[in-house]
Chain A
């Protein structure tokens, strides 16, 4: 059974700092890995999707890496801003052709960026 773990559970940093969020998964047979952002009381917003054949994806100040063989991904946020404060969730899709592509989520990392 696939399990996804995110460390740390919470992180508080001063504005402007670069930071790294970690995600690990137990079964390396994945189709893709996705990072989401969730604001309090809201749904999830997709940030980055890394396909199993890719090593990293970048969007603006965000960079996500994937090491499938070791079951790890990182989300790097450069020059953090107070508006980046949210919970960041990592999720994987198991590799199964014709399957549902359901996501298995970690519990998230709650990020607070202090002005």
Chain B
């Protein structure tokens, strides 16, 4: 169990640029989640995959956001035409089975200038 890995840890970008984040879940975990956390708030659900299928998306996930999990292993989250309001910590988590604790990565902190 090497834990959930996220890359990069920090990303600073200018408004209007596109960014992509990567998440490598724990290898045997078939469920993968993306959450977003802003300062002083709890994480908010963005989207969820079971294997390669994206099964649920939050209304927070505007059409500028897209997430993939092409082979049911790693996942990417892309934000197009970034805005200052996108500045946040983006957290990835995975889980092995129903009613099990969620394992989080250390997140990618995005700053849009």
A residues apposed to B, CB below 8 Å: 4, 31-32, 34, 36, 41-46, 49, 51, 89, 91, 99-108
Contacts and interface: CB of A to CB of B under 8 A. Distances in A.
Interface residues on B, range: 20 to 34
A49 B98 contact: no
A contact face: mostly helix, strand, loop, or mixed: strand
Given A34-B102, A44-B104, A46-B101, A102 B45 contact: yes
B8 to A, nearest CB: 14
A62 B23 CA distance: 30
A102 B34 CA distance: 10
A11 to B, nearest CB: 15
A4 B44 CA distance: 12
Interface string B3-29: 010100000000000000000000000
A31 B6 CA distance: 28
16 contacts: A32-B99, A34-B101, A34-B102, A43-B91, A43-B104, A44-B102, A46-B101, A46-B104, A49-B100, A49-B101, A51-B99, A89-B42, A100-B33, A100-B48, A102-B48, A107-B42
